Structure 1
Amino acid sequence: MTENITIKIQGMTCDHCKAAVEQALNEIDGVHSAEVNLKNGTATVTYDANKVDIDHFTESIDEAGYEFVGQV
């Protein structure tokens, strides 16, 4: 089942940050796409809810060096 979620991320300040978060999220098995809005500090993720959940996003963002704030 494909779902979309928008999440708030803290600590992103530049295009490198945007690319790092997008790459981290897109590498998760079950994520179809992830797009970061640097201005809003958010990421919109399209994913397979049968394979991945919000805990995977939190872990991936934290490992990339940024802070998962919550769902928008």
Structure 2
Amino acid sequence: MSDILHFQVEGMSCGGCSSKLEKNLAEIPGVEAVKASHETGAVDVTLGGQSVPRSAIETVIEETGFDVVRG
């Protein structure tokens, strides 16, 4: 069973930004798919049955140069 985690991200301004973020998040073990939209700031991460801490995904988003909107 796959879980989908949703994130709101600030700082993506073009298709290259969302592609870079998708690539970096896809490298996390347990991540099955990633869909990022620079137009809406939405990022959906599909997990393939393996548990991946939300904080690990947020760290990669921030290390890629973007901000996670919290709260």
Instruction: Write the distance in 2 (CA, Å) between the matches of 1:27 and 1:50.
Output: 14
TM-score by length of 2: 0.87
Q: Are residues 1:19 and 2:13 paired?
A: no
Q: Which runs of 5+ in 1 are unaligned?
A: none
TM-score by length of 1: 0.86
User: How many angstroms does 1:49 deviate by?
Assistant: 5.6
Q: CA RMSD in A?
A: 1.7
Give the SS at the match of 1:44: strand
Q: Which runs of 5+ in 2 are unaligned?
A: none
Give the percent of matched residue pairs that are identical in Structure 1 and Structure 2. Answer: 27
Alpha-carbon contact 1:3-1:47 (below 8 Å) kept? yes
**More strand per residue: 1 or 2?**
1
Which sits farther off after the overlay, 3-12 or 41-50?
A: 41-50
Count of aligned pairs between the two proteins? 71
Give the SS at the match of 2:28: coil
